[in-house]
Chain A
Amino acid sequence: MTALSGTSGLPVTLGRGGKVALLALTVIVLAVASVGFGSSSMSPGRVLLAIIGEGARSDTVIVWSLRMPRLLMAALSGSALALAGFVLQRATRNALAAPSVLGIVDGAAFGVMIFLFIFSNESNALTVSILWQPLAAASGALVFALAIILLAVRTGAPPLRIILYGVALGALAKAGVTLFMIDGPVHRASQAAIWLAGSVHQARWSDVSTLACVLALIVPLTMLLTRRMDQLELDEQSAAATGLPVRATQLMLFALATCLTAAAVSFSGAIGFVGLVAPHAARLAIGGRALPQAVAAALIGAAMVVAADLVVRVAFAPLEVPAGAVTAVVGAPYFLFILLRAGRVHA
């Protein structure tokens, strides 16, 4: 992995810090572009003026009440999902672990379906405010994660069991969602379809601030645990020999990943691909200890979702394609590029 540093295609060789800074810069550029583009485009200069409150009145309204919440929601949920995937891959020591693989996202989807099922009346309208939907999603995710942990703990919670129970319960939740989709009225199905694809176009400031508060609690905790993630890279006996309570750490990490996922998907829906691939992109591009990798994964996740949202707004307008439908289109070329580059280095 360390072989990667010094092989970057840039004329100046960047250290790990430099690469993280470059990623941060990418996110900022994407953010400015994301605020600038839309049904009425504005230049980066106008965007910056509007952000500090010196721009034209209409610009300020567009930027602050329409595009900023959407941008922040995309960035926050992207980084939360990427971080969740990173934590899960470390906890289970499996390259394919991700929030959407281990049943957490499917649990949230099931929660949303139950919510839409219970609180719809005959005329297909919701009987309670849609603002409660995130709560239903979060509860679904937490309930399923709890079930996975409870089942796994009975067998001593080895990672393979967490994986198998996660996949199994996820499949069950997915089956439930499909049955509801088939059996329910059309409104419910289309409402659920938007959530299932994952979209940030309905972001509100209240959602953004809730998500930011939750992340402000969980992200520092996750970063504190990165040292333990380094120890978990060893095999289990060696990790235990370094004084790490292996099973307890793995369960703690699983719980953290669940909270991160629940927070992200309850507002923006089941955005796929980011949680699985951003951690690998960080590993291949940065390498080294878990802390810089976690930061890089979060930045890459944010960049992917912001870019995806930008693409759906610019390329598909006026069609409202959910951002989650194109995260793969945006992220795959970048990821394949670094995957192939890693192959060339190892060859």
Chain B
Amino acid sequence: MPRYALGLGLILLTALLAAASLHLGIRYTPTGEVWRALSQGGDDQAALIVTTLRLPRTLIALVVGGALGLCGLLLQTATRNPLAEPGLLGINAGAGFAVVVLVVLTNVQSLTVIALAACLGALLCAALVFGLALSAGGMSSPAHLLLAGVTIAALFASGIQIVIVADERTMEELLFWLSGGFADRDLRLLALAAPASLVIALASWRLAPMLDALMTDDATAQSLGVPVLRTRFLVLVLAALLAGVSVAVAGPVVFIGLAAPHLARLSGRQSHGVLIPLSVLIGGVLALAADIAARFVIYPSEAPVGVLLAVIGVPTLIYLLQRKRLGAAA
């Protein structure tokens, strides 16, 4: 395959899916109307649906999907564990717990406040996990970071569960938020999230050679001149920021962070200079495809996007894994 064919193909696929996402929904909007709505605005029903509903969710799916894909790749590389994913840092559970507590105590309804609480909860939780990991062997034992993360995640998850069992009203109100998704989210948050994600993506792209070295073992990476502990810490902080931003915008979205990096690696490329853009693109494609499918599986109501991510992502992953057996062993 020519060097850039895969990347170009993915970009093309992203553009196609984004266009489809603007056209499809409970009611199909013809291309002419979509174009008119995008270029001139207008306040008839079709234009409003495109500009206030479909455009935001398309953009959010792209940004959050890409951010989660990259976040998963960074985590899997920094911890050298193929099972690492954004949820394992306790970030989703921390955000969820913050939101549940906020809603139970203050009864707020505003999505912006909820999103801010989620972001705060996520970052506090990540800080707690880092603090624990640093005291339990520091950055030299990534397994301990993951274990601290898993433990804190489980702790907050059971906190959420207890509150929900005790107070069913909260569950009704928060089920929407806790299941994660791209529809009906606050677009203003994206104005912050998109530039932040872009900066983090560029920063990690600059770190790509060091990430390649980190994939070996610590001693080898050290002898290649990579400051192992500092790089690992930096990469983990970048990943935590990406996960925090995503959970604030779209709630806890599962599976992308785990699957996108593996799908990217199945291209046969090992270098992070290639894997980073591939993971971002694949994350975006998965998110868009799942978001479009979510509008139709239990038409006319919307299915949770997490379900569709699994339904779309798993067969793709299994197909590629099975095909790959003819090539080099993974």
Contact = CB atoms under 8 A, between A and B. Distances in A.
Given A151-B322, A167-B83, A325-B165, A339 B148 contact: yes
Interface in A147-185: 151, 154-156, 158, 160-161, 163-165, 167-169, 171-172, 174-175, 178-179, 182-183
Given A163-B82, A328-B158, A158 B137 contact: no
B162 A321 contact: yes
B314 interface: yes
A178 B304 contact: yes
A326 B162 CA distance: 8
Contacts of A167: 83, 258
B317 interface: yes
Contacts of A332: 151-152, 154-155
B198 interface: no
Given A96-B88, A335-B151, A165 B321 contact: yes
A342 B322 contact: no
A95 B146 contact: yes
B124 interface: no
Contacts of B311: 172, 175
B135 A179 contact: no
Contacts of B166: 316, 319, 321
A27 B83 CA distance: 32
B325 A154 contact: yes
B130 interface: no
B15 to A, nearest CB: 27
Interface residues of A, number: 52
A321 B329 contact: no
The A interface is mostly helix, strand or loop, or mixed, namely helix
A342 B329 contact: no
Nearest to A330: B158
B137 A342 contact: yes
Contact of B330 (A101, A158, A172, A276): A158
Contacts of A322: 165
B146 A172 contact: no
Nearest to A177: B307
Interface residues of B, number: 53
A277 B158 contact: no
A245 to B, nearest CB: 18
A216 interface: no
B84 interface: yes
A347 B36 CA distance: 64
Contacts of A328: 151, 154-155, 157-158
Q: Which of B144, B258, B329 has the most CB of A within 10 A?
A: B144
Interface of A: 94-97, 101, 151, 154-156, 158, 160-161, 163-165, 167-169, 171-172, 174-175, 178-179, 182-183, 197, 272-273, 276-277, 280, 316, 319, 321-322, 325-329, 331-332, 335-336, 339-340, 342-344, 346-347
Given A178-B304, A178-B306, A343-B135, 18 more contacts: A96-B83, A155-B329, A156-B325, A158-B329, A160-B330, A164-B262, A172-B311, A175-B307, A175-B310, A179-B298, A179-B303, A277-B147, A325-B161, A329-B155, A335-B147, A342-B136, A342-B144, A347-B138
